[in-house]
A and B are shown apart, each in its own frame.
Chain A
Amino acid sequence: MEKRKLFKTVIFLSLIIMIMMGLSGLFVDKTSRYYKYEFLNARTDFDALYFGASRMHEAVDPMYLWEKYGISSYNLASAGESVQMSYYVLKEALDHCSPKVVFIDAAKISDEFDKINSGYGFVHESIDALPLNRNKLEAVNYAGRFFEGGRLGFISMLYAYHGRYDDLKEEDFKREVNYDKGAYIMTSVYKREKPVRQTNEVKELKGGDGVSHYKRILKLCREKGIRCVLTDIPVHAKIFSPGRQKHLNALIKLTKENGGDVISFNDILDEIKLDYDYDFGDAGHLNFLGAEKVCDYLAGYMQGDIGIEDHRNDPLYSIPWEEDKKKWKEQRTGMLDEKEDAVAYIFGAVDEGREIKMYVYEPDKVRNQYGMDFCLKRTGIEPELADEDEIGGYDMMIEVLNKENGERIAQKSFFYNQSSGMFTTKEEE
């Protein structure tokens, strides 16, 4: 073949590859990258990592742990993540940092055989952001057999996501990352029932896919000298069934036998003072208030039992963390617009140097929304009578102002929902 033709062919194939890479980057669902990109490109080491599904994802706030305790940590949990995927993500994580402790939530450590215990989209959320290396290929090799589309669906982002042409949003065209250090913290308020321990019976584990991968995590941590801690993030009464308790007891036993530690939050709910009236953000997950209580306990454990240092005076940590904190605050303000109800909006907006004002047509209806009374007391906001010109066809408007200069930082209006008593962004039909 002539050299010229060979050269042209190489150029043409390079263009094909560039197009494919460009399209992959554009079409890939950004959730995984949004939460994990900051970790994979971190400027500091992390003393602690958190793994698990949504309960862990929403219960541990690394930025809170930094602000209050100077702990450098990252939340690598993601929605629906089974422990099998946590194992591969942990393997990859250990190539990027050297934590002293790793927390694994018990929720998705299943004992079933040949089951991944996670949905297709959730597996993507767990591993999409990982670089294409041996760890990712191992994860793909395991997960691929459970889903139509097989392994290629987890390797080629173009193959998996090219059909998103109708779902592309502004975020798909820009590189947005999460400065919450992997966490998703809710600010809504929801009431749940407190669970009660009913049995101490221990179920016999068969060594199914989840358990066997958890054993691998324990082994990996032991080999690397990392403390592995099994957690059981607070749940509500219905979930904490006797069957689940027996399974949890077995996992606790397994952890202890393998040199790990256990923090079973559902057994120390009074100790951490979790309030089941206000500390949940939805039916199954803690909100920021619940997360703070979990974090306070974890901080005590990490700094007491493990001896993790307060890095706030160490410029190697404090400079990047404080820079990220600034970005994190901007990001949270930017995300206020996504809040769907008034309570979530207020709790999301509260910060030092801010004043929040609430305007309503009918002030007596304000406290009909569950959690609003609690929210107003906690924030000290006094609802004010609205002027029609200001809030138009809405029933409530909330304004976030800069205390110093009175400049408006954010503002959102809500409709009153007669049936639920909530002030929400959606008008009742």
Chain B
Amino acid sequence: MIQMTITSLSFIIFIVPAVAVYYLTPKRYMWITLLFLSFVFYFLAAVPYTLVFLLITALTAQISSYFMEKTEKYRNAVAFAAIAVNILLWFLFKGSTYWIGLSAALHSVFPAVPVLSKIPLPAAFGMSYYTFQSVSYIIDCLWKTSKREKNFFRLLLFLMFFPQLTTGPFSRYNALQSVYEGRNFDIDRIYRGAQRILWGFFKKLVLAERIGAIVDTVYGAPDAHIGLWYVLSFLLYPLQLYADFSGSVDIVLGVAELFGIELPENFNNPLFAETSQEFWQRWHMSLGSWVKDYIMYPVLKSKPVLEAGNRIKAKHGKKASKLVTLGIGMFCTWMFIGIWHGGYRYILGCGIYYWAVMLSYEILSPYLSRINKALGINGASFSYHLMRKLRTYLILCISMVFFRSDGIMNAFRMLKAIILSFTPDFFNPWIFVNGALADTGLSGTDTVVIIISLLLMLLAALMREKKGHARDWIAEQGIVFRWSAWLVLFTLVMIFGMYGPGYQAADFIYQGF
């Protein structure tokens, strides 16, 4: 097992010959090369024997889809059993926090109950991603929205296509058919892939790692910091997470593009969202669409929820019925998202929190509209939209405290400290001018680099809102401008990227899930 994060040199060294081998393969066998490369990647990046877990998942998907095709009678039972096996495996390894925490809680009440400990085996690489891809495949087969893949190895490639094994995105079987297609070498595709990878490196190595230095300093030693230090890390962490996660996805999508494969987008300028609902339509989109299709809609269409909705509708009217059924559907959805992240603090700080925020918005929305109207607020003005975006960002910041803190109690402590920051005893705005930021290990140049990088990211985001991807716009420009833009970005990454001896770029945050 070697250091094989997608920003590591070993990954780059792996990719270059991998692309060459892929395009040298006859078209018919290109998918086999991809599968072979995925195996090589797995053996290099992960503990090799954990591949067994991935194979079990693939086998359950293959066998269950076979039986679902052959029999109508036991389709649901077969699908249920296959999903259960997958979820159980995931729970044993990635969800250990839950059953360890539960056993500890039970133990405190009933001492006879033993406190369980973690299984002393590593989880399979990318388990949280391939497990739910497999579940989606099984459900699609059950719903007959997808054809069964008869070739086990082709199914295996769908689950372990190596770029997405690290940080997603979630792909659907129907949408990933391009992995099986043969294609000609296209230099333009290589350019585009490389450009996207470079942009991902910029976000991760230049921006996210630098912001991380500040955030880690505060979260790493909360007692050593007071006042606006908390506010600073509170406001910066979502930016770090976004630069980190979207940077990793840019690299993954760029690598897939090198092979001529288009993976689903995972972000669409989420920080421009004006409501939390919109935010989640723009953030981790592949997870959002997965839960919508496989949790939210099935729950809303389920018999008990429909019956409950009808009963409430008859008694309290249509609005109440919609609110209750939506509330149930959203609750299941958000609970799943919280659980998927693998910790109680995610269930509270992401799941329940966002469920409450969105439900409150559903309830309060008509009243807010009336207030706006009464106050004569111009809903078309720039400031109105800006305030809505800031509100959405602040809501996100609160959730992110739970993401970043070690445990729920620490998150609450952090939130309390943020509020106290504005009291006379703790208010310390001079930290921004007295050089205290240098304690985080960042120099004045680093601060300038953060600001310039944020502006560049903002520029790219604005272009995407108005014109589409910035690289498409750059591609339309003259050669001097075009080349200069990419060479400058390359130079910035080379100089200001946080890599090299004595410096190990932190793993991508979403690689941990």
Contact = CB atoms under 8 A, between A and B. Distances in A.
A165 B495 contact: yes
B490 A1 contact: no
B14 to A, nearest CB: 15
A152 interface: yes
B443 A166 contact: yes
A150 B2 CA distance: 13
A421 B494 CA distance: 48
Contacts of A9: 187
- With a 10 A CB-CB cut-off, give which of B445, B490, B502 has the most chain A CB atoms: B502
Contact of B187 (A5, A120, A161, A162): A5
Contacts of B498: 163
Contact of B494 (A120, A149, A158): A158
A162 B497 contact: yes
Given A5-B187, A16-B487, A149 B445 contact: no
A27 B498 CA distance: 15
B187 A15 contact: no
Contact of B9 (A147, A148, A152): A152
A160 B495 contact: no
Residue with the greatest number of chain A CB neighbours at <10 A, chosen from B188, B490, B501: B501
Interface in B435-451: 443, 445
Contact of A153 (B187, B445, B497, B500): B500
B495 A162 contact: yes
Contact of A23 (B491, B500, B501): B491
A6 B487 CA distance: 18
A147 B494 CA distance: 21
A147 B500 CA distance: 12
A19 interface: yes
B93 interface: no
B501 A1 contact: no
B483 interface: yes
B6 to A, nearest CB: 17
Contacts of B495: 23, 27, 162, 165
Interface in B392-435: none
A152 B187 CA distance: 29
A159 interface: yes
A108 to B, nearest CB: 22
Contacts of A153: 500-501
A165 B445 CA distance: 8
- Residue among A9, A23, A153, A165 having the largest count of chain B Cβ atoms under 10 Å: A165
Interface in B297-324: none
A19 B497 contact: no
A269 interface: no
A15 B503 CA distance: 27
B425 to A, nearest CB: 33
Contacts of A163: 498, 500, 503
Nearest to A164: B495
B19 to A, nearest CB: 14
A301 interface: no
Interface string A11-51: 01001100110010001000000000000000000000000
Interface string B179-190: 000000101100
A19 B491 contact: yes
B361 interface: no
Interface in B465-513: 483, 487, 490-491, 494-504
Contact of A147 (B188, B490, B501): B501
A23 B494 contact: yes
Nearest to B501: A149
Interface string B333-363: 0000000000000000000000000000000
Contacts of A149: 500-502
Contacts of B483: 12, 15
Contacts of A159: 499-501
Contact of A19 (B188, B445, B494): B494
Nearest to A19: B491
B187 A19 contact: no
B501 A166 contact: no
Nearest to B479: A8
A148 B502 contact: yes
Interface string A281-298: 000000000000000000
B172 to A, nearest CB: 33
Contacts of B502: 120, 148-149
Contacts of B187: 1, 5-6, 9
B501 A148 contact: yes
Given A148-B501, A148-B502, A165 B487 contact: no
Nearest to A144: B501
Contacts of B504: 148
A20 B503 CA distance: 20
Interface string A354-384: 0000000000000000000000000000000
B500 A1 contact: no
Interface string A233-248: 0000000000000000
A163 B502 CA distance: 11
Contacts of B487: 15-16, 19
Among B185, B491, B497, B500, the most chain A Cβ lie within 10 Å of the Cβ of B500
Contacts of A6: 187
A357 B494 CA distance: 51
Contacts of A12: 483
Interface string A77-113: 0000000000000000000000000000000000000
B501 A16 contact: no
B494 A20 contact: yes
B494 A162 contact: yes
A120 B501 contact: yes
Given A15-B483, A23-B495, A160 B500 contact: yes
Interface in A99-143: 120
Give the most central of A19, A23, A147: most B CB within 10 Å. Answer: A19
A118 to B, nearest CB: 15
26 contacts: A1-B185, A1-B187, A5-B187, A5-B188, A9-B187, A15-B487, A16-B487, A16-B490, A19-B490, A19-B494, A20-B494, A23-B491, A120-B501, A148-B501, A149-B500, A149-B502, A150-B501, A153-B501, A159-B500, A160-B500, A161-B500, A162-B496, A162-B497, A162-B500, A163-B498, A165-B496
Given A15-B487, A152-B9, A162-B500, 20 more contacts: A5-B187, A6-B187, A23-B491, A148-B501, A148-B502, A148-B504, A149-B500, A149-B502, A150-B501, A158-B494, A159-B499, A160-B501, A162-B494, A162-B495, A162-B496, A162-B499, A163-B498, A165-B445, A165-B495, A165-B496
Interface of A: 1, 5-6, 9, 12, 15-16, 19-20, 23, 27, 120, 147-150, 152-153, 158-163, 165-166
Nearest 10 A/B pairs, CB to CB: A149-B501, A153-B501, A166-B443, A159-B500, A5-B187, A166-B445, A1-B187, A162-B495, A148-B502, A160-B501
